[in-house]
């Protein structure tokens, strides 16, 4: 019996589908590892600091002692600004994030109690934004603070400018 070499024939449908599925699987694995690599790089090398700028809030004379105002930064963050003193100094004012660090509920300033309160889980923050009761206090979480300045009777807040169009 002689064994002759059979010349290669036309590609078969089975061969094509096998090659196609191998290439597809390799592309899927590469995409998955590429995504994982991109996420790891973003975690290890976070974005640069956000650009900050001063924005006008209110006239000092129009901001009564004990009152507060809600403000939304250009980046969309919610801020509560409260006037806690009456010496006409920037120390009379405090600007704190209105978002509770526990679950993201909105806190509000309670004038009579001189505190910030989160109604979701009875989170309580003192006048400086430090958690004193509820889940935020248990976790050691406080409200984020924003810088303020008072110039010529006008109150300004320092906020991220990334939401502003250039």
Mean pLDDT of the chain: 85
CA 71 to chain CA mean position, Å? 16
**Residue 163 contacts residue 79 (beta carbons within 8 Å):** no
Number of structural domains the chain divides into = 2
For the chain, where are the E strands, in sequence order?
A: 52-59, 68-72, 78-83, 93-97, 108-110, 115-118, 123-125, 131-133, 145-146, 148-151, 154-160
Per-residue pLDDT, 20: 84
Beta-carbon contacts of residue 124 (< 8 Å; ≥ 6 apart) = 115, 116, 117, 118, 131, 132, 133, 134, 137
**39 and 95: one domain?**
no
Is the pLDDT at 45 greater than 80? The verdict is no
For 8-139, where are the E strands, in sequence order?
A: 52-59, 68-72, 78-83, 93-97, 108-110, 115-118, 123-125, 131-133
Where is pLDDT greater, at 96 or 3? 96
**Residue 164 contacts residue 74 (beta carbons within 8 Å):** yes
Give the whole-number percent of the chain exceeding pLDDT 70: 90
**68 and 127: one domain?**
yes
| Domain membership of residue 120 as a residue range | 52-160
Q: Considering the domain boundaries, does residue 5 fall inside one?
A: no
Is the pLDDT at 166 greater than 50? The verdict is no
**71 and 101: one domain?**
yes
* Segment 116-140, tens digit of pLDDT: 898 888 899 998 889 999 888 888 8
Is the pLDDT at 114 greater than 60? The verdict is yes
**86 and 119: one domain?**
yes
* Segment 58-91, tens digit of pLDDT: 998 888 888 888 899 888 889 989 888 888 889 9
**87 and 110: one domain?**
yes
**18 and 72: one domain?**
no
Q: Considering the domain boundaries, does residue 96 fall inside one?
A: yes
Tell me, what CATH number does 102's domain have?
A: 2.102.10.10
Q: Considering the domain boundaries, does residue 2 fall inside one?
A: no
Q: Considering the domain boundaries, does residue 3 fall inside one?
A: no
Per-residue pLDDT, 52: 87
Q: Considering the domain boundaries, does residue 6 fall inside one?
A: no
Per-residue pLDDT, 55: 93
């Amino acid at each position: 019996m002689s064994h002759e070499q059979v010349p290669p024939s036309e590609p078969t449908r089975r061969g094509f589908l096998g090659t196609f599925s191998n290439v597809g699987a390799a592309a899927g694995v590469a995409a998955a590892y590429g995504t994982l690599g991109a996420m790891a790089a973003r975690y290890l090398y976070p974005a640069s600091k956000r650009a900050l700028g001063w924005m006008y809030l209110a006239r000092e004379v129009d901001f009564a002692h004990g009152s507060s105002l809600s403000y939304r930064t250009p980046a969309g963050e919610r801020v509560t600004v409260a006037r806690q003193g009456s010496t006409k100094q920037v120390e009379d004012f405090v600007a704190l994030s209105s978002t509770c660090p526990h679950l993201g509920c909105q806190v509000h300033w309670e004038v009579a109690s001189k505190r910030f309160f989160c109604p979701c889980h009875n989170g309580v923050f003192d006048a400086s934004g430090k958690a004193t009761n509820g889940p935020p206090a248990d976790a050691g979480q406080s409200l984020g603070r924003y810088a303020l300045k008072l110039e010529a009777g006008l109150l300004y807040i320092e906020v991220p400018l990334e939401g502003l169009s250039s």
